[in-house]
Structure 1
Amino acid sequence: MTTSSDIQTWEVKEPYLKLHCKLGEGPYYERATNTLRFVDIISKRLHTVDLAKGPDSLVTLQLDTPISVTADIAGVDPRDKILIGAKFGIAVLDRKKAAGGSKDAYEYVSKFHKMKDNFRLRGNDGAVDPHGRFWLGTMTDFELGPFQSEGSVHMFTGRQDSVVLKEGMTIPNSVSWSPDGQTMYVTHSSAGVIHAYDYAASSQTPIARERVFYKHDGSGAPHGHRVDVEGNLWTAVYGESHVLKVSGKTGIVIGEVKLPTQNITCVEFVGTELFITTAGMEEGAGSETEVDYSGGLFRVDVGVEGVPPHEFKLDL
C-alpha cells in the first residue's frame, strides 16, 4: 500500500484463484467454516474455497439455474443449506444434494411479487438487512437482451411475497447498510450511481429520502460493494481495473485498489483482507495478461474490517 495526502493506494499483481469465471460475483465469507464462497452467474456455478487450506481446496457445485448471490440462514448450518438468489426469487440450496447432482437441490422460498416465472428477468445482487430480510434486485436476463429498464429492487420477509421498493432500473446491484444500520446503499450500475436511503424496520416504508451518495465519473460502472466498520464503502468498478474506497461521510473517493484485469465485479471482507471477484474478457479485449487473469479471484489486505453480513430469518 502507498499513501498520498489525498488517496490510499493498493496494487494486486496476480489472482489468488485463476478460474476464468464468465461472471464471477457474490463473494461471501462463511465464518462457521472459514471458507469463501462465490458464484459464476453465467456458468450457473457455486465455488467454495477453504481459506486455511488455500486454492487447492476449491470445490465447485454445478446447478441448472443462475445463482447471483448467497446468504446464511439463521439457525441453519451453512454446510448443509444456504439461501441463494435465483432466477425467479430466493431459494434454499441443499449443498449436499447439489454435490450429489440432485435435480431438486434447491427449493424456492418466495418468488418476485407480480413477476412469478417471468422468463425475461433474473435475480441479480442483494443482501440481508439488519432485521433479517433479504433484498434482491432483478434485471433483464442475459439471453433476452438488450438490457431494459425493467428491473426493480425487492424485499423478502421470510416466506412472504416480496415487496417492490424501487422500479425502473436497468442493472440494480449491491445492497448494504451503514455500521449503525441507519443508512442503506443501493448501486444502480447502468446509471453510474450509488444511492443512499434512510433505513428503518418498517415493512411498509423501510427506505426513505433517496439521494445520490456517489456518482461515478469514468468509462466504467460501479458494481458490487461492501461497507467497512468505519462507514466507508468499497465498490468494484466494472471496466476500469480497480476497486474504489468511497468516504461514508463525503461520498468522495479516498482509496483505490488497482487490479491487473478490467471487469471487476464485487468485493468481500475477510478480516482486513478484501477478496475481489471479476468477470471474463474476450480475447483481444485487453492485454494478454488482462485477459488471462480475467474471471479470477483476487485478495489484498486493506487494513480495515467490513461490517459483518446479517443472516436471513426464514421463518419469521
Structure 2
Amino acid sequence: MSAAVEVKPQQLQQWHVKEPYLHLRCGLGEGPYYEAATHSLRFVDIKKKRVHVVDLDKIPYPNPNPSVDPSSAPAGVETIQLDTPVTVTADIEGVDPRERILIGAKYGLAVLDRRTGAYEYVTKFHPDKDNERLRSNDGAVDPHGRFWLGSMSDFGYDLQPEGSVFLFDGTRTARSMRHPVTIPNSVAWSPDGRTLYFTHSTERTIHAYDYDPDSGEVSRERAFYVHDGPGEPDGSRVDVDGNLWQAVYGESRVLKISPEGKLVGEIRLPTKNITCTQFVGTELFITTAGMQQGEGTPEEVDLSGALFRVDVGVKGLDPFLFKLSKAVDPAS
C-alpha cells in the first residue's frame, strides 16, 4: 500500500503595499485610467467632483513626498474641478485626450474639454427628464466602441435598488441592459473578448456573460465569483492571462481571481476602502476612498483616499476607445 500524500491548499500569491504613491486625500477616488498618449494616469474623485491627471514621468516612484494639495497644482499633477460628480473617464477614438475625453457625469455620458474644464452631455440615462436621485457610477468601453455605464442612488439619498446598467452606442440613445441594480461597478472583458464581467457590489457577486464578438450581444448570465467577506467587490481590471484584479471596499485588499473564478492572490494595503485598479505595464495602480475618524485605525484613516502602486509581474489589457457619432459630438 502506498503512503498517503498530504495535499495542502494552494498558497495565495501575496503583495504588501505599505506607502502611498500619491496622496490627494480623495473623498472617493475611483476610475483610474491609463492615458497612453502622455504616459499619465487619470482618476476621479466622485465626491469632490474632480478629475486628476498624474504625469508618471514627473512624479517619482517611490515618491518621497506623496502628500499633495491639489489646489496648489504641483508639477506633474493636473486637477480639473467640475460642478458634477464625475465617475469614470475614457479616451475617444480619433480625439487627442490632451484636448477632450469622455466622462461619466451625473446624468450620463459627457465630453470634457480639458483646456477649458467645460463639459457637454452627448447622451443621458433619461433624456426626457433628469432624475435627481440618480448619478452615474462605474463603466467601460466595450470591444465595439460602446460605453457600458451604471447608475445608482446619488449622495444624500437613501441607497435603493433603483439603478440600471446602460449601454451607450455613441448616439443619443441609451439602452437599459440590467435593472434594477443598487451599486453597479466595473464592466470588463476577457482577453479573447468572449466574456463580459460585471460587478454588482451589493450582491457581492461578479457576474459573467457570453459576449458575442460580432454582434456585441450578451447572454447566459451566471455567477463567476461570489465574495465571502465583510467587504464588497468594487472596481477591477483584467490582465493578459485573464485574471481579474478586483478591489474590495472595506477589506484593505485587491483580489487576484483566476479565469476559472478562483481566488489565487491578494494585495494587502494599509487602508480599508479600496475602490479600483488600473494597469500601467506590469504595475497596478489602486485608488481608495476617504474614511472618517473612528472608522478605522489612525493609519487607515490617514492613508484613506490615497493612490497606491505595486508591480505584480503581469501586464493588463489595453482599454477600448469610445466611438462617438459625429452627429452628437459637441465639437462637430
Q: What's the TM-score, normalizing by structure 1?
A: 0.94
Shift in Å at residue 284 of structure 1?
A: 1.6
Residue 266 of structure 1 is matched in structure 2 by 276
User: What is the one-letter code of the residue matched to 2:315?
Assistant: E
Residue 169 of structure 1 is matched in structure 2 by 181
Residue 63 of structure 1 is matched in structure 2 by 82
Paired positions, count: 304
Task: List 4+ stretches of structure 1 deviating above 3 A.
Answer: 113-116
Residue 198 of structure 1 is matched in structure 2 by 210
Residue 305 of structure 2 is matched in structure 1 by 295
- Matched residue SS, 1:290: helix
- The 5-angstrom pairing of residues 92-103 of structure 1 reads 92-98=111-117
- The 5-angstrom pairing of residues 118-157 of structure 1 reads 118-144=131-157, 146-157=158-169
CA contact (8 A) 2:122 2:171 kept: yes
CA 1:39–1:296: 2 relative to 1, 3 Å: same
User: What is the one-letter code of the residue matched to 1:64?
Assistant: D
Give % identity: 64
Aligned residue among 232, 239, 259 for 2:250: 239
Aligned residue among 94, 109, 112 for 1:75: 94
How many Å separate the matches in 2 of 1:245 and 1:153? 25
CA contact (8 A) 1:88 1:116 kept: no
Residue 189 of structure 1 is matched in structure 2 by 201
Residue 225 of structure 1 is matched in structure 2 by 236
- Name stretches of at least 5 consecutive residues in structure 1 with no aligned partner: 99-104
Range 118-127 or range 48-57, more displaced: 48-57
User: What is the one-letter code of the residue matched to 2:25?
Assistant: H
Aligned residue among 153, 159, 171 for 2:171: 159
CA contact (8 A) 1:113 1:161 kept: no
Aligned residue among 252, 256, 263 for 2:262: 252
Radius of gyration: which is bigger? 2
CA contact (8 A) 1:261 1:290 kept: yes
How many Å separate the matches in 2 of 1:252 and 1:282? 33
CA contact (8 A) 1:24 1:265 kept: yes
CA contact (8 A) 2:140 2:188 kept: yes
- Name stretches of at least 5 consecutive residues in structure 2 with no aligned partner: 1-8, 60-65, 67-74, 327-332
- Matched residue SS, 2:241: coil
How many Å separate the matches in 2 of 1:273 and 1:200? 30
Matched, 1:106 2:119: yes
Matched, 1:47 2:52: yes
How many Å separate the matches in 2 of 1:184 and 1:122? 23
User: What is the one-letter code of the residue matched to 1:134?
Assistant: F
CA contact (8 A) 2:124 2:172 kept: no
Shift in Å at residue 18 of structure 1?
A: 1.3
Q: What's the TM-score, normalizing by structure 2?
A: 0.89
Aligned residue among 32, 39, 43 for 1:34: 39
Residue 102 of structure 1 is matched in structure 2 by none
- Matched residue SS, 1:143: coil
User: What is the one-letter code of the residue matched to 1:92?
Assistant: V
CA 1:173–1:116: 2 relative to 1, 3 Å: farther
How many Å separate the matches in 1 of 2:139 and 2:236? 10
CA contact (8 A) 2:193 2:213 kept: no
- Write the deviation string for residues 129-151 of structure 1: whole angstroms up to 9, x where unpaired: 0010000000000122x210001
CA contact (8 A) 2:258 2:264 kept: yes
Residue 180 of structure 1 is matched in structure 2 by 192
CA contact (8 A) 1:276 1:297 kept: yes
